[in-house]
Each structure stands twice: as C-alpha cells, then as structure tokens.
A and B are shown apart, each in its own frame.
Chain A
Amino acid sequence: MSNITYLPGKEPHEKEHRLIFKNIDRQGWNPTITPYLEEGGYEMLKKALKMDPKAIIEEVKTSGLRGRGGAGFPTGIKWGFIPPNNTKPVYLICNCDESEPGTFKDRYIVHQDPHQLIEGMIISAFAVGAHTAYIYIREEFPEAARILEREIAAARDKGFLGRNILGSGFDLEIHVHRGAAAYICGEETGLIESLEGKRPYPRIKPPYFPAAMGLYMSPTIVNNVESLCHVVHILRMGGAEYLKLGTPRNSGTRIVCVSGDVQKPGYYEIEVGKVTFEELLFDMCGGPKEGRKLKAVIPGGSSSKILRCDETFKIGRGDDAKDLTFWQLPLDFDTLAAAGSMAGSGGVIVMDDSRRMSWVLNNITHFYAHESCGQCTPCREGSTWMKKVSDRIEEGKATPDDVKTLEEIAYQIDGKTVCAFGEASAWPVEAMIDKYRDELLAETSADNDYKSSERLEQEKFLAAVR
C-alpha cells in the first residue's frame, strides 16, 4: 500500500479512522479507475464473484453494518428480506439523494472516489441477485453525475460491468438516474416512485417494503452510498474483523459531518461510539468561535431532536443505568437514541449562544413545509401551519398560546403519516419546544393580537352574515 499523504490543511485528525474516506483529499489521487486499480481496487469484486452470494449476505450480517443513510437499519438483514422463492427481477438502488440538512459525506465519495461505490454496488448486486442497478443521484450534483457515468463506462471497459463479468457468468448494468431537487426522493419508496417516472409520493410500509415490492413492484434493495462502500471493506476484512471496529451493536466507522458554530467544521470519519461530543466538538473541531459558548447541537441531521449542551441524560436501564452529560455522550446509534434523539445521517449542526432558537426553529419549519410531498393531510396541512406559527413566534407577533398550538400540531403529525417525513418534520418542533420552551415563550406576548389572513377572511364573512 503506497504512502498516503493528504492535501495541506486537509489531514485527518488523529482520532479519525479513515476507511471510507481514505482517498478523500488525498495527494495525487483522482476519481479515475487508474489510481483505484493501483491500490488493489476491484480485487474484492474478484473475491466476491468466487463466493456464494448467500455467503456474502452472511458476512454483511456478521459485520453488524447498519445503514448510513439515517435509519441505521442492519444492512445484512435488509438484504435477507428478499422473498426466498422470488422469480421477478431484483433491483439494487444506490440512494445518492443526500439531502438531509447537515449531511455532507456522500458528496465527496461520488466526486472523489466513485470506484469505491461502483465496486461496492457490483458486489452488493451480486449478493442480492440484481442484474440492473441504478444510482439515484440528486439533481444538485451535476458534476458527480457526469463523473459517475464516465467511471461506470471505464469499469465496463475493464470488464467489471456488463455481461459475464470477469467470466463469472454474472451480468450487471449500472445506470445513473438524476433526481430533480426533491428531498422526499431520499425516502426509499419516494425514490422508487420517482424512478418509475411519477411524483415521489412514498408508499406505506407494510405492505410496500421494497425488498418484497419495490421498483416496478419487484424486490428492490435501496442502500445509501456510504453503506455500499462499507461492503467492499467488509469483504476485505471479513465480517468478524469489521465487527471489532466501533462498539457492540454499533460496528464499523461512520463519517460525521459537523457544521455551524465551530472553528473547524467539516467531515470526520470515526469508529462508531468511540468518540464523544466533547472530543468531536473540542478536540477535532476546535471548539466554539472566539468569545462564544456552545448552546445546542442537532446530532443527526435536521430531522433529529435537538440536544442542549447543558443537559444530562439517563442512559441505560437497571444496573447499567448511568447519567451522562451531553459532552460525555458517545456518537453511536443506540446511545443517541437513548438520549431521546438519533444518530441519523451523521449531520451534526452546532449552535452557539448567539443563536435565537426561534430563528433556528423557523428555518427548519420552512424546510419541511417546502419539502412536504403533500400526500398526507396531517403533514401537508401541518407542516405549512407549523411554518406559519413559527413565523410569528420568530417575528415577535405570537401569543403564549401559539407555542402550545405549535406543539400540538407537531404531535398531530407524528405517527400519523404514510412515511417518516411526518416524524422528521414534527420531531424538531417537539424537541425545540420541550428543551427551549421558556426561551420561545419569552418572545411571545399576551398582548399580541395577530390575525392570520385566514382569520381575517373568517371575520369578514361572519360580519357579512350577521
């Protein structure tokens, strides 16, 4: 293995473990197939093609790999959901719609190290029995779409794609499909509807689990870009070795993306659960800006519940229960879930004491109101309504009751929708009010008499009929 050096100023922090991001910002690296092959690229594909596909699925199950798109669902188990007596074509879809606010990792993989993804996809397609695969890439990555198409052609030229790959008898084509700037296409069933050429209205699960009824109602596996890259390394190390990275039930590495009010925002690849928030935000990100203190952190993309930096959490049950401060929380799926939030997509957004929470909340409600697909009444009506209420709280035009109303709207969406976008839009509101109720109330006044345009219409009508 050649000596790896990184571009000046882009060297990984010593607490990082660069597995997926080994080649990002690397000196002398480029996205073509040449350096990838020189480093032993596609050797794992050769190894995989000699294995029984079921054995590959077992390795991925053993590895404990959990999806890196946001839900953290065990990848090997998802692959196992394809019906055993299936006779329909199987599809593999790479979800490259990276749109969760605060997340910026897949971007670098597809722009700088596309062959890691391509090799991961070919191995995964072989494992699940797919002969057609799609990369659904967000519209706002036009250069990456061109790079991917070019590198897929290069892989084809080397015999890694097409018919009878490397004499194995396995056929596979990978096609790039560009989206059109809709966040809901990151939802796997919304993505599938979009790939079918329709509006991306998600499907309800059950029964529409993609592994059973996906693209064109055929078994379909949808995986995140990063998850598919991990497959190459699992093949190389073996599932049992991979399982040793990270912590129990939270194995491997993941790329954490830090943005907002820190000295050194950026991407950091860490072993899951081996780094705490204190280490991440102070040691790796240099702490807050000059003269500021850290106030709050959204740990897993804007859909995750906000955490206060001065909070203490009760983690675990019975004899294992312990109190951990925010700074002591390790970044892993289970601990963050126990803390009442989630690790999600790894998008860590940091706010310091200069930020008004009403402004932060308002920015977030605008996002969800814009991105709601409109299929379900609670979300379509509720997300827009939450935006309007948070508008007037932020503008100082709200009454104290408005905070209560906003909270109630959120709980009327949560759990009552076809897809998880409902929760994604409601959780930030629920958490912000739960954690910062007093701060939000301080911006309201009982003297405010805000009349929405709907209320003014109503009063005009009532006056006319009296």
Chain B
Amino acid sequence: MSSSNSDSSPRSSVLQKNIESPKTPGEKFFPPFEVTKELEAEAEKRIAQYPADQKRSAVLPLLHEVQHRHGFISPESIEWVASKLGIAPIKVVEVVTFYPGFRQKAPGKLHFRVCRTLSCAMGGSYELMDQLCELAKIDRSGASHGDAISVSPCGKYSVEFAECLASCGTAPVCLVNDDFHEGVTADKAADLIRQYEG
C-alpha cells in the first residue's frame, strides 16, 4: 500500500464524501450534535404521526429537527436518525444527499437564500446576490449543484440560490434563516443585513 496515500479504497472515499461534513467558518455558531432528552421527545412526537410500521416516514421531520438545532446534518446525526427509525444509515444518506433543503456543512449564522427563478431574476435577484456577496465578503465562485452554499470567512453570513419561493408578485424575494423578505432589490441589501446586526 502506498505510504503517502492514507485514503481508503476509491469506493469508500465516494461514500465518505457523501457523509462527511466539510468544515466551514460558520460552525462556531452552532452547537455540535448531541442527543438530548428534548430531541428524543420531539423525535417520538414526530414518529407517532405515522403508522407504527412506517417509522421511515419520519426521516424528513427528524432531519429537520437536527438541522434546526445544529445547523446542518453531520455523520453522527445521520447514524442517530437511522437507529431511531430502525433503518439502515444509507437510507438516511440517500435522503440527505437528494434534498437541497438539507445541508451537510454549517452555513453562516445568517443564511441568505435568494430566489433565482424567472420572475425574481427579472426583478433583480442576481444583482441582489452579487450585492450580498460583496457586503458580506463572500466568494461564491466555488458553488455548484452539489455544494450550493458559500460561507463568509468570518462565518457570520452564507448565501445560496434557491428556486422559486412562491412569491413572484413581490420579486425579488429571499429567506434569511426562517424569515421571509419581499421586494429586496440590490439597493436594499445593506438594510437587510443591518436588520440582523446588534
């Protein structure tokens, strides 16, 4: 075995890439994953919403609980969700890797999701994104379909393009964490960020 290459076989490194959470500057704003009594209680509540023999249905609600508390889905949380639902971890991985709504790396403390679809693009959402990146000092050039989130070096801000957020009449729109903002043209970007400072 080559001594300089400490990676495992090609097959396991592909799986590894699908599970691991790359480090980001935003990590410090989120508590590390931990199985608490509150999390367990919430999980039980969600599992009870589905027939007793269909616990797998609770995979999305449980992942949302994890992401809400810890900012993103880590390998440890994947294993916990799988064991809680009695399913193989790969069944959780296939869901986490498919849905854009689940993040596998920490976003910034403030995560901006700007709509890029037709009406918002016509309304200036790309200009809004450029302005947000400039103000927050974010370099978005590395973003791709599989790695859509770009985080600022300080970790306070992150951006992502979202697809149609269903508010085309008040374009351009964006979500800041769970808050929805309408009519946010590029000239309003500074005010938008300022709302959340201090």
B100 interface contact, C-beta 8 A: yes
Interface size class of B (residues with CB under 8 A): 35 or more
CA distance A198 to B93 in the complex (A): 10
Q: Is there an interface contact between A199 and B98, defined as CB atoms closer than 8 Å?
A: yes
Q: Is there an interface contact between A183 and B163, defined as CB atoms closer than 8 Å?
A: yes
Q: Considering only CB atoms, which chain A residue lies closest to B59 in the complex?
A: A197
Q: Is there an interface contact between A257 and B56, defined as CB atoms closer than 8 Å?
A: no
Chain B residues lying within 8 Å of A349, measured Cβ to Cβ, are 118-119, 168
Q: Is there an interface contact between A140 and B168, defined as CB atoms closer than 8 Å?
A: no
Q: Which residue of A99, A260, A373 contacts B166 across the interface (Cβ within 8 Å)?
A: A99
CA distance A408 to B117 in the complex (A): 24
A278 interface contact, C-beta 8 A: no
Q: Mark B29-69, 1 if CB is under 8 A from A, else 0.
A: 00000000000000000000111001011111101100000
Q: Is there an interface contact between A102 and B118, defined as CB atoms closer than 8 Å?
A: yes
Given A143-B178, A179-B60, A99:B164 Cβ within 8 A:
yes
A399 interface contact, C-beta 8 A: no
CA distance A194 to B102 in the complex (A): 14
Q: Is there an interface contact between B122 and A347, defined as CB atoms closer than 8 Å?
A: no
B143 interface contact, C-beta 8 A: no
Q: Considering only CB atoms, which chain A residue lies closest to B94 in the complex?
A: A199
Q: Is there an interface contact between B168 and A177, defined as CB atoms closer than 8 Å?
A: no
Interface size, chain A (Cβ < 8 Å): 54
Q: Is there an interface contact between B101 and A363, defined as CB atoms closer than 8 Å?
A: no
Most buried by B among A198, A257, A267: A198
CA distance A100 to B121 in the complex (A): 15
Nearest chain A CB to B112 CB, angstrom units: 13
Chain A residues lying within 8 Å of B58, measured Cβ to Cβ, are 197
Q: Which residue of A142, A195, A216, A257 contacts B169 across the interface (Cβ within 8 Å)?
A: A257
Q: Is there an interface contact between A101 and B180, defined as CB atoms closer than 8 Å?
A: no
Q: Is there an interface contact between A180 and B166, defined as CB atoms closer than 8 Å?
A: no
CA distance A103 to B145 in the complex (A): 24
Q: Is there an interface contact between A260 and B99, defined as CB atoms closer than 8 Å?
A: no
B165 interface contact, C-beta 8 A: yes
B95 interface contact, C-beta 8 A: yes
CA distance A355 to B56 in the complex (A): 47
Q: Is there an interface contact between B169 and A265, defined as CB atoms closer than 8 Å?
A: yes
Which B residues, 83 to 141, have Cβ-Cβ distances below 8 Å to chain A?
85, 87, 91, 94-95, 98-102, 113, 116-119, 121-122
| Shortest 3 CB-CB contacts between residues of A and residues of B | A181-B101, A180-B101, A259-B168
